[in-house]
Amino acid sequence: MSTLHRSRAPDQSQKFRQQTPVEQDPDELLRFFRAVRGKSRDLAEPLSDADATVQSMPDASPAKWHLAHTSWFFEKMVLEPGALDYRVFDPSYSFLFNSYYEALGSRQPRPLRGLITRPTLEEILAYRAHVDAEMEKFWLLSPSARVMELVELGCHHEQQHQELLLTDILHLFAQNPLGPVYRSRDDGVVAGSPPPPARLLKFAGGLVEIGAGAEGFAFDCERPRHRVFIAPFRLADRLASNAEWMDFIADGGYRRPLLWLSEGWARCCAEEWTAPNYWEKRDGGYWTMTLSGRRPVDPAAPVVHISYFEADAFARWANRRLPTEAEWEFAAAGLPQSGNMLESGQLCPAPASIPQQGLRQMFGDVWEWTSSAFAPYPGFRPAEGAAGEYNGKFMCGQFVLRGGSCATPGSSVRASTRNFFPPDARWQFSGLRLAGGGDDA
């Protein structure tokens, strides 16, 4: 690979110092960096070069691109501006693996990432090894607090791409008539019976604070912490299930325009939606595509791979609604941030635990659509420079999801975490939890 000296990029770290003032332990951060980078390599292990190259739709990216882009982030944001005498691995990668950072130059159009047949997967893994080695050398120079904040951001950014790598591979494999298996699952789990009805738990609401506090890592869109008023409300103690979704289908849910928002109904008709993404009728029942291949739909498991439009229509059919993101965060505050996430190895949503007093499945299994548009919190200001393009520029036409999924790294989810997608997105691990007013039975 050709290498050459690069001019230094502008310092992107000033704003992050203001947002995360708590000092980071350099050794702990280095261990986190190593663990995240190693996990990405592990996730790519089952993939062939062809698997990692193909792009199944414009919204998805090849696994090879995810692996390269997350390395590009550390190279462009940390090593080039901060490391003395750093030599880039290949100057063409700046164009190939930039995502949407207009301030850092031109890039390969997103819908055409699948045309990057070269460099090969082997070369991308060599690129990752190069960046990792240079980061290790750079760490010996005792990086500043500003640099450490950028490295921490880069690690959480890579964790987001780990989940995207899995959702994009699932979408790719679902297009293959052979239904390839990403990771075999011989856990003896069989489809369960439909779960008992969800219970609506009451919350008093009031004038409360939401958003990330001053301590610890959070993305810029999670701050500043601020006060909101929440009227009394109720929240289902578990996620909506596949069995309930089958009832929705059987009752004409995909054929009744009065249940749908206008834009959602237009999309439903244009794309001929009749069930969640990946579902198909077979042998008198429903089957779905998973990362362990095609399997019967488990009635007891949470419904997944649905759009905001579908979630909203289902809630209206059930005489309920979707929670606001403030309601969701208020209800989740103080709960253990654990559940069926990437570390469990299941890579698919699991049925809720036996009924208990409080909320179940708040973290993991599926990202939960809320009724809230992705908008800035009062007082939000994006970072200066290219790093300011991370979240703020997408605060239009998106809806917020909460709680993480079975493909989300556990250390990347907080009660304040705000995921966001356009309302027609269906390829993510997205589902819903019903909500109602404080007086609903």
Evaluate whether 225 touches 213 at the Cβ level (below 8 Å): yes
Q: Where in the chain is the domain with CATH 1.20.120?
A: 14-174
Q: Which fold has domain 200-437?
A: paralog of FGE (formylglycine-generating enzyme) (3.90.1580)
Evaluate whether 237 touches 360 at the Cβ level (below 8 Å): yes
* Residues of the chain scoring pLDDT < 70: 1-23, 186-191, 384-389, 441
Q: For residue 441, what pLDDT is reported?
A: 61
Number of H-type helices and E-type strands within the chain: 12, 12
Separation CA 89–CA 77 (nearest Å): 15
Looking at the DSSP assignment, which residues form a beta bridge with residue 420? 400
Q: For residue 438, what pLDDT is reported?
A: 76
Residue (of 189, 87, 194, 181) closest to 138 by Cα position: 87
User: What is the DSSP track for 303-348?
Assistant: P-S--HHHHHHHHHHTT-BPPPHHHHHHHHTTS---SB-GGGS--S
pTM of the entire structure?
0.92
For 117, the token pair is 């047949």
For 48, the token pair is 């062939």
Q: For residue 440, what pLDDT is reported?
A: 73
Q: Which fold has domain 14-174?
A: Four Helix Bundle (Hemerythrin (Met), subunit A) (1.20.120)
Residue (of 262, 250, 346, 336) closest to 304 by Cα position: 346
Residue (of 310, 318, 301) closest to 405 by Cα position: 301
Cα-flanking dihedrals φ and ψ of residue 427, to 5°? Answer: -85, -5
pLDDT tens-place string over residues 33-68? 999 999 999 999 999 999 999 999 999 999 999 999
For 206, the token pair is 């009031």
Place of tokens 């369960």: 192
Stretch (H or E) spanning 149: helix 145-174
Q: Where in the chain is the domain with CATH 3.90.1580.10?
A: 200-437
Looking at the DSSP assignment, which residues form a beta bridge with residue 201? 235
Q: For residue 2, what pLDDT is reported?
A: 31
Separation CA 13–CA 388 (nearest Å): 10
Which residues contact residue 41 at a Cβ distance below 8 angstroms, ignoring those fewer than 6 apart?
Answer: 125, 128
Stretch (H or E) spanning 295: strand 293-296
Residue (of 171, 220, 143, 163) closest to 36 by Cα position: 163
Q: For residue 400, what pLDDT is reported?
A: 98
Separation CA 11–CA 384 (nearest Å): 9
For 307, the token pair is 């759009």
Which residues contact residue 188 at a Cβ distance below 8 angstroms, ignoring those fewer than 6 apart?
Answer: none
Q: For residue 387, what pLDDT is reported?
A: 67
